[in-house]
Structure 1
Amino acid sequence: MNVLLIALDTVRADHLSCYGYRYETSPNLDRLAGEGVLFERMYTPGIPTQPSYTTIFTGQYSITHGIVTHGGTKEINPKSPWLPSILQRHGYTTCAVSNLWRMKSWFARGFEFYIDPSHRSKYLHTVDAETINSRAIPWLEAHHKEKFFMFVHYWDAHTPYLPPPELRRKFYDGDPFDPSNESLKPLWRQPFGEWWRESWFSQLKEDDREVTDADYIRALYDAEIYYADMAVGKLLETLEKCGVADDTMVIVTSDHGELLGEHDVFFDHHGLYEGNIHTPLIFRWRAGGVTGGRRVPHFVQHVDLAPTILDAAGIPIPDSMEGKSLLPYLRGESDEPIYSRIITQECTWQAKWAIRTDEYKLIAAREPDLHNMPMRELYHLKTDPEELNNIYLERWEVAEKLEAELEGWIKRMMEKNGLSQDPLVEQGITLGRRWHRWVEEKRYW
């Protein structure tokens, strides 16, 4: 059995056509889902990039592996298991086509081959899918006869949204420069709006006309997803050509989503709202008894990926991994709910915890945030899926119960890990304290 783990950075589930999106942004992923299993409610236990990928590779929650923020100074828990290292010890040839190691060194652990195509890019996340494939496909062609674990990381849906010119109007037919359109004005009123305006937005100008339509920016995000999807299609074709598609477990997910103006968060991934924490998860493994075209409606999390891969490979799952193997659900052997609720956190732009059940979501802030959102938010997701109506005061009894469950879980996890203080409070937000320096220093893309 081989493993191909594909990460589509910053892709929210509801902007993929296989998750019901109105545009056909993901034809190759749609086909993959038709041949495999799609998990409808995959959630990230921590955002953004560094906490999320550390969870994917450790099978642990952020409060356990120690990385609760992006760009912090904390080192990973030295006792945390590491999926690539485990697979390497069990005879796998391991390869990453990624640049995460340039953020934090632990992302290079356990990889015999670490191919970083971003050295020619000014910023890590501006490396495009074609460049990623130019490194990934030759490696796969050269090593497909070995038992391999391959991690391929596409950044395209992350800002800046600069898809190839021929795709920029694929999902848009309006006038992006209409001077009467004021849909971006809420962004310009924000203190860090200048950062966006003077960085990649300046690259979208035509004849010195500035983009005014937020829908055009959203369409560029969709175009980036489509562009990455085309690259995934070529990577999957390579598996077929090499004759290893059947015995390769293909996994597609993302580290987090993106907010596109919801709650006045424009084109970034802070805020524990559905657009940020609901991510895609698709498996295909033809030789592993995974029948195609099934959808699993239960909650699953990034902590489940490492245990699932090890279970499928016949490798013992370390007791320190906190996720659950999804193999019974892949094979149709179980249909029981896996989790009754999801707990997630962020500590990069905002310091917040959230608990999400089938019906409600409670968001609890540890300190005020840049958007002046309430310290407590409660949403009834059945009737308010877009989280527009904060009913915390009206349904205080529900909020009180959820908060008690959330705080109880945090307390138990702190005791388990020997922590004397909530790590969100101890470490504090990172990027949320730096943006003003970026504007002052004109650190624009």
Structure 2
Amino acid sequence: MLMEEGFMNILAIAVDTLRADHVSCYGYKYKTTPFLDEYATRGVRFENFYAPGIPTQPSFTTFYTGVHPITHQIVAHGGKVALDRKIPVFTEILQKAGYLTCAIDNLWKMKPWFTRGYEFYIDPSARREYGQTVDCDTQNSRAIPWLREHKRERFFLFVHYWDPHTPYIPPERYRGLFYQGKPFEPNNHSMDDFYKRAYGPAWAKSWFTRYVPDGHITNADFVKALYDEEIRYVDEGIKKLIGTLKEEGIEKETLVIIFSDHGESLTEHGIFFDHHGLYENNIHVPLIMVGPNVPRGRTIKQLVQHTDLAPTILEAAQVRIPESMEGKSLWPLISGEKNEPIYDKLITEESTRMCKWAMLKDNYKFILARESDYYHFPPRELYDLNSDPEEKNNLAEEKPSLARQYEEELEDWIEQRIRRLNRKLDPLKEQGASMPYWLGWIHPRKYW
């Protein structure tokens, strides 16, 4: 299905570290995203959008290439493998098709391939100590003037908001919006395990001292609220950016795609304020699309993933999709031309702080560890996402035949792709987790 003539501009907005269940139009109890809630009614909202690789570097490499991490081999954040120059990225394809391309971003500091295909690459974070602390107002201060200057050209604009990535530092006007409790409560022990983590004391010193003099916060709900307040802040930033499209008269000819690279763990499974662990809070992220040829008020429940964004963007631009791209264009689902599932299962991985594969199928999730981890989680985990959405009850021992079936299917999927790529090893086994030694973690290879 090719788009109609005149479908010109594409604005892709990535909200880093935004888990779907903290977005109010995805059912969150707090009104964190009033603008996105209303904006989603103007287009389509994908209810089951997943990251096939976490965290940032695997996720955004998948976004640009339209292939799974096992194919592009960027399975870890901070890994030593480089993206093969022969693997196409959609921005280069758009550029060759005549699009003016621009990124408001700083991912180039992590890996050089994130600049491929951009005529303009604007990094407002150069004057910040940490790139993740560049806020959405700063990003907008570059993105909005660029939009106004180039509104008469056919453009692809990528804007990467770091809010609500750690450290959660919402502007003062948002403080206390969702929680009025105190950061330090002597009888509150919800943060005790945080200070036992390798990164806990350092974060307390560099981040929590903004809120208590000695950096010792005892109340996890206070920190969770900071995360939600950052979401509210970026929601208003997105409103300003999209409002510019209307002000400049290009709203009706611009496709807007809003998504996240990964979610965040906010104490779930004993993981504090980070994005490792292949649980729903980390891999289930929002996706909203609004623009020409996008029906209003549609919710799509089929499983979709980051691999699908590149072919969807290329089809919107009326550009041929390379056969090497593994993702599926979402336009048949968006238009209603197709209503059946496009995937019978999704496979996701991480090889940064943990080294694990996971498979989602028939409302179950199976997680398979390639190495032991810092938390000493079981090597096999099986969850019924219908009855146990918080993934608290591991069924791997209770349902051994089902766990074995899922493990065999997952291993078969991995093996098939290794053979197709003419490789010898699973990249998670070959590369291993990238960060445990860097963080000074005790990381035995085996404990089972």
SS at match of 1:7: strand
SS at match of 2:301: strand
8 Å contact kept, 2:183–2:218: yes
1-structure distance, mates of 2:274, 2:36: 23
* 1:360 aligned partner: 364
2:316 aligned with 1:309, yes or no?
A: no
- Structure 1 residue ranges (4+ consecutive) displaced by more than 3 angstroms after TM superposition: none
2:347 aligned with 1:340, yes or no?
A: no
* 2:41 aligned partner: 34
8 Å contact kept, 1:117–1:135: yes
2:378 equivalent among 367, 374, 378: 374
8 Å contact kept, 2:204–2:215: no
Q: Which deviations, in whole Å up to 9, do the C-alpha atoms of 1:270-308 show, x marking residues without a partner?
A: 0000000000000001x2x21111100110000000001
1-structure distance, mates of 2:137, 2:340: 40
2:404 aligned with 1:412, yes or no?
A: no
Deviation at 1:79, TM superposition (A): 2.0
Using the TM superposition, name which of 81-90 and 354-363 deviates more: 354-363
Deviation at 1:32, TM superposition (A): 1.6
1-structure distance, mates of 2:334, 2:365: 27
Where structure 1 has 5 or more consecutive residues not aligned to the other structure, the ranges are: 438-445
SS at match of 1:96: strand
1:225 equivalent among 231, 237, 241: 231
Where structure 2 has 5 or more consecutive residues not aligned to the other structure, the ranges are: 1-7, 442-448
Q: Which deviations, in whole Å up to 9, do the C-alpha atoms of 1:326-361 show, x marking residues without a partner?
A: 011112222111111110000000000000113211
Deviation at 1:209, TM superposition (A): 7.0
* 1:54 aligned partner: 61
1-structure distance, mates of 2:287, 2:61: 17
Q: Which deviations, in whole Å up to 9, do the C-alpha atoms of 1:15-36 show, x marking residues without a partner?
A: 0011010111111111221100
Q: Which deviations, in whole Å up to 9, do the C-alpha atoms of 1:349-403 show, x marking residues without a partner?
A: 0000000113211100001001110111111111111000111011011111111
2:431 equivalent among 423, 427, 431: 427
2:144 equivalent among 127, 137, 148: 137
2:106 aligned with 1:106, yes or no?
A: no
1:240 equivalent among 239, 246, 260: 246
8 Å contact kept, 2:348–2:357: yes
SS at match of 1:56: helix
SS at match of 2:353: coil
Q: Compute the TM-score of the two structures, normalised by the length of structure 1.
A: 0.96
2:199 aligned with 1:184, yes or no?
A: no
Amino acid paired to 1:315:
V
Using the TM superposition, name which of 308-317 and 271-280 deviates more: 308-317
2:186 aligned with 1:198, yes or no?
A: no
Amino acid paired to 2:211:
L
In 2 relative to 1, CA 94–248 (structure 1 residues): closer, same or farther, beyond 3 Å?
same
SS at match of 1:42: strand
In 2 relative to 1, CA 91–187 (structure 1 residues): closer, same or farther, beyond 3 Å?
same
1-structure distance, mates of 2:417, 2:249: 45
Deviation at 1:78, TM superposition (A): 2.2
Deviation at 1:193, TM superposition (A): 2.1
Deviation at 1:231, TM superposition (A): 0.5
8 Å contact kept, 2:19–2:262: yes
Using the TM superposition, name which of 352-361 and 8-17 deviates more: 352-361
Give the count of matched residue pairs.
Answer: 434
Normalized per residue, the structure richer in helix is 1
* 1:442 aligned partner: none
SS at match of 1:314: coil
- Where does 1:264-343 land on structure 2 (aligned, <5 Å)? 264-285=270-291, 287=292, 289-343=293-347
Amino acid paired to 1:4:
L
* 2:175 aligned partner: 168
1-structure distance, mates of 2:130, 2:199: 19
Deviation at 1:177, TM superposition (A): 1.6
